[in-house]
Structure 1
Amino acid sequence: MSKVVIFSLAVILLGLIGEGYGAIHKAEIVFRPPVRHQEYLKRKEVTENAGAAFLTFKQPVVDLDDMIYFANITIGSPAQTFQVVLDTGSANLWIPDSTCRPEEPTTTAPTLPPLPAIPDRNCPVFCDGLEDSGWRHFCSSKCITPDHYKKIKNIPSAFFMDPPMEDEAEPDACANKHRYNSAKSDTYEKDGKPFTLAYGTGSAKGFFGIDKVCFAPTELCIPDQTFGQATHLAPFFANVPVDGILGLAFPAVSVGKVTPPFIKAVEEKLIDEPIFTVFMAHAGATVKRTGGWFTYGGIDDENCGDIIAWEPLSKVAFWEFKLRGVKVGDYENEDVVDAISDTGTSLISAPIAVVENLAKQLGATFNDEMGTYFLPCDSDTPPVVITIGKNEYSIPKENYIIPVGENECEFGFFSFDAGAKGPKWILGDPFLRSYCNIHDVGQKRIGFAAPKKTSLSPPPAIIDWRNASPEESFEEKDTLQDSSSEEYY
């Protein structure tokens, strides 16, 4: 349904009608273009002047301990600010709604059937093989046996979340989030269709709404963007230091058949080229410094080299392509398998046999209690080399080992089974820190380029994010807008 608003009226009654008296009342007519019309005029001006201006936008991201990269977005008019993971491994944007509350607990834990998994249950296939899976952190007590759940209770996850014991009160995942208030936005439109995004540890549930979304602090704004307003969040999200997720994959994997924000920007010609570039730096244990840049509308020639190796997408859903081998030391595997590039995955996943052989070559030891591999941080380990197309890509030591203690590092590879139709490899942040990833929506391809720099200089200050205030985390205002004091609910 289209709505046409010509102008608004401000009526001021200045006279009084008394006994025996008449009065003339003047209504002042004030022309004020409605907010949506102002947005239309602004977008029209941008698109008409596309030839005169370069519509390329660079958005800084914050690096949290080399494990999570997140950025600010704004939604609505006036703007409400949120911290989100920019995720090429999903296609929906969602943030907590003002009505958000914890996910309703279930009273009984289902008994797991053997593989293949039942599609309707909330447990992905890798939860069935949890003992051998680095994705154990994404599996709730409802998806694995209580005895094993207690065994791994104190294992820190990629999102720094320890799952509660079964007799502990589960945290309120909505309590410390910025929440979107549609009543405070002049550009909001109701959609109302429900959505559920399932994760191994639970889900985000809510309904869709429509509003203006901006990639802060840039001027790239997408009007009338459909996004998820989460009314229920699983306890898993309580200790995840972001408000939501902004998906950068294709509509084919979008819940609710929603067009993702970047794809919508391409369709509406809000950017120069249908390309975005991801540059991630090695920042270490910090949440105070810029950890990289997402460039929308072109190639990041400031941080990325001129030589780009393009690879066609094998499926236009995720950013998926063929990986043709891996080697390190005396080990080499030449299996041709599907792989995806995923900014939302902290580590690199591969088939279990591959991970075991890589770890053996590098001298990493498997810890049964922790369920992952460890090695001394000062180990003299060579790069891990993977082959994509006709090119070899070297992942250096500093990008695939993660310090967790005094001279103790975690091996940045884990194994999981995505099923027959899923990718065999997920190239997460260790690969993205090693190479710029250029995502070409128009030609359905992905490109890789050597970065001009791989770490931040001078070294950033180290901050314990668990004890740092939001003000400390976002002290550099030029990096990200400080949203710590804003409340929308």
Structure 2
Amino acid sequence: MLFSCRPEEPTTTSPTLPPAAAAAIPDRNCPVFCDGLEDSGWRHFCSSKCITPDHYKKIRNSGAAFYMDSWMDEAAADEPDACANKHRYNSRKSDTYEKDGKPFTLSYGTGSAKGFFGIDKVCFAPSELCIPDQTFGQATHLAPFFANVPVDGILGLAFPAVSVGKVTPPFIKAVEEKLIDEPIFTVFMAHAGATVMRTGGWFTYGGLDDENCGDVIAWEPLSKVAFWEFKLRGVKTGDYENDDVVDAISDTGTSLISAPVAVVENLAKQFGATFNEEMGTYFLPCDSDTPPVVLTIGENEYSIPKENYIIPVGENECEFGFFSFNAGPRGPKWILGDPFLRSYCNIHDVGQKRIGFAAPKKTSKNIPVSIDWRNASPEEEESFEKVDSSFQEDSNEY
């Protein structure tokens, strides 16, 4: 059975899926769509929910596997500052909830979350794709950092090998239980630059997104079945070239591209970017005339245009879309975040343990207009600044 659904705005009171939802969905040749990918700053929000409790915004993270339906359990949260203004999951309102009770702890670069596991029926709203008996984390403690992050939880899209407690993530479980036609999900990020409170792309569950993405250029086998990890065989731009063969991952939870220190320093030197000690990242003029950064994956070259790695953050102030991060001896050397995902659709094949890349269709109806920060409203600037303050922190869990 194929599933599809249009974008919808998250609500705070949605006790059941609307009975008429399926009837309102157009007949499309693609499976289940997440709500339109709302890109607030550099984090990506869309909605999923348990069948009976409330409707939440969550980060869709292909670089994480642990599924936290909600960081906030209404009966148990003990960090009122971190939980303020969040949509909370209330298990007492669910007829299908079971308490697992086993504890979990997650460490982040900015703090931690801890709580216990629960079990409930989870649906990708507003479609009919539902996963029965899904184990998820209910947080009883959140680091204060999360108070200013406008999300209610994390939906992991990697493999159980890197999941806390080895919990099977919802999409993997949907594949195992044959709830979808194809064991594939596609990530399409439409815009270049930052948009706030606008649809910025699509997550497609169960197949290829042929409305927004072209033909698959190539498939690359996973080097490890944990994160979406594969071999990167080189990078070049201008007079700089590096042909080291290293591990890289595709990660929707990382807002920039992480690379080894020497690589980032050389790229910054090529483009005249300067390092800001206070912010811990590079900046360059927004009107910089810079060439594409070209990555070699398999036998193909993938070009990242300057529009996707020169990121407006203020009036005539732009951030360089690369930063250095040490993931340790066993971690990936590269983390391909938003600048790469905006340049190419990423197709994740759970069944054959491979990842594919496709050029986005320029005629896509879903491409929004990016914000011109010189004319941004105070509300847009404030919303962006809240998520911008921690743009690199998602990567620190590796």
- Kindly state the Cα deviation for residue 408 of structure 1 after the two structures are TM-superposed: 1.4
- Kindly state the Cα deviation for residue 308 of structure 1 after the two structures are TM-superposed: 3.0
| 1:375 equivalenced with 2:350 (yes/no) | no
Question: What whole-Å deviation, never above 9, does each CA across 1:390-418 have from its counterpart, x for those lacking one?
Answer: 10000011111111222111101000111
Alignment of 1:242-281 (within 5 A): 242-281=151-190
Show structure 1 runs of 5+ residues with no match. 1-38, 43-52, 104-170, 469-489
Partner of 2:133: 224
Q: 3-state SS of the aligned residue for 1:85?
A: strand
Higher strand share: 2
Match for residue 216 of structure 2 among 307, 310, 317 = 307
Q: 1:318 to 1:203 in 2, by over 3 A?
A: same
Output the CA distance in 2 between the equivalents of 1:423 and 1:229.
29
Q: 3-state SS of the aligned residue for 2:341?
A: helix
Partner of 1:233: 142
Show structure 2 runs of 5+ residues with no match. 1-16, 20-27, 384-398
Partner of 1:90: 64
Output the CA distance in 1 between the equivalents of 2:139 and 2:109.
17
Alignment of 1:197-212 (within 5 A): 197-212=106-121
Q: 1:460 to 1:391 in 2, by over 3 A?
A: closer
CA contact (8 A) 1:55 1:270 kept: no
Partner of 1:80: 54
User: Normalised by the size of structure 2, how large is the TM-score?
Assistant: 0.84
User: How many pairs align?
Assistant: 351
Partner of 2:343: 434
Output the CA distance in 2 between the equivalents of 1:454 and 1:327.
29
Question: What whole-Å deviation, never above 9, does each CA across 1:111-158 have from its counterpart, x for those lacking one?
Answer: xxxxxxxxxxxxxxxxxxxxxxxxxxxxxxxxxxxxxxxxxxxxxxxx
Output the CA distance in 2 between the equivalents of 1:211 and 1:272.
23
Question: What whole-Å deviation, never above 9, does each CA across 1:22-76 have from its counterpart, x for those lacking one?
Answer: xxxxxxxxxxxxxxxxx9xx9xxxxxxxxxx9781011210113x1111111113
Partner of 1:343: 252
Question: What whole-Å deviation, never above 9, does each CA across 1:438-484 have from its counterpart, x for those lacking one?
Answer: 0000000000011103985562675634657xxxxxxxxxxxxxxxx
CA contact (8 A) 2:238 2:270 kept: yes
Question: What whole-Å deviation, never above 9, does each CA across 1:212-253 have from its counterpart, x for those lacking one?
Answer: 111122221111110001111001111111011000000001
CA contact (8 A) 2:259 2:323 kept: yes
CA contact (8 A) 2:160 2:169 kept: yes
CA contact (8 A) 2:30 2:209 kept: no
| 1:99 equivalenced with 2:75 (yes/no) | yes
- Kindly state the Cα deviation for residue 367 of structure 1 after the two structures are TM-superposed: 2.2
- Kindly state the Cα deviation for residue 93 of structure 1 after the two structures are TM-superposed: 1.4
Partner of 2:4: none
Match for residue 68 of structure 1 among 31, 39, 43 = 43
- Sequence identity (%): 79
Taking only aligned residues, the RMSD between alpha carbons, in angstroms, comes to: 2.3
Partner of 1:142: none
Output the CA distance in 2 between the equivalents of 1:314 and 1:253.
14
Q: 1:413 to 1:100 in 2, by over 3 A?
A: farther
Q: 1:283 to 1:410 in 2, by over 3 A?
A: closer
- Kindly state the Cα deviation for residue 87 of structure 1 after the two structures are TM-superposed: 0.3
Alignment of 1:93-242 (within 5 A): 93-94=67-68, 95=70, 96-102=72-78, 172-242=81-151
Match for residue 404 of structure 1 among 306, 313, 325 = 313
Output the CA distance in 1 between the equivalents of 2:212 and 2:367.
13
Output the CA distance in 1 between the equivalents of 2:184 and 2:210.
13
Q: 3-state SS of the aligned residue for 2:101?
A: strand
CA contact (8 A) 1:280 1:432 kept: yes
Output the CA distance in 2 between the equivalents of 1:431 and 1:416.
17
Q: Which amino acid aligns with 1:459?
A: V
| 1:459 equivalenced with 2:364 (yes/no) | no
Q: 3-state SS of the aligned residue for 1:306?
A: strand
Q: 1:241 to 1:441 in 2, by over 3 A?
A: same
Output the CA distance in 2 between the equivalents of 1:311 and 1:356.
28
Q: Which has the larger radius of gyration?
A: 1
Q: 1:255 to 1:369 in 2, by over 3 A?
A: closer
Partner of 2:206: 297
Q: 1:398 to 1:179 in 2, by over 3 A?
A: same
Question: What whole-Å deviation, never above 9, does each CA across 1:336-378 have from its counterpart, x for those lacking one?
Answer: 0000000000000000000000000011112233322111000
User: Normalised by the size of structure 1, how large is the TM-score?
Assistant: 0.68
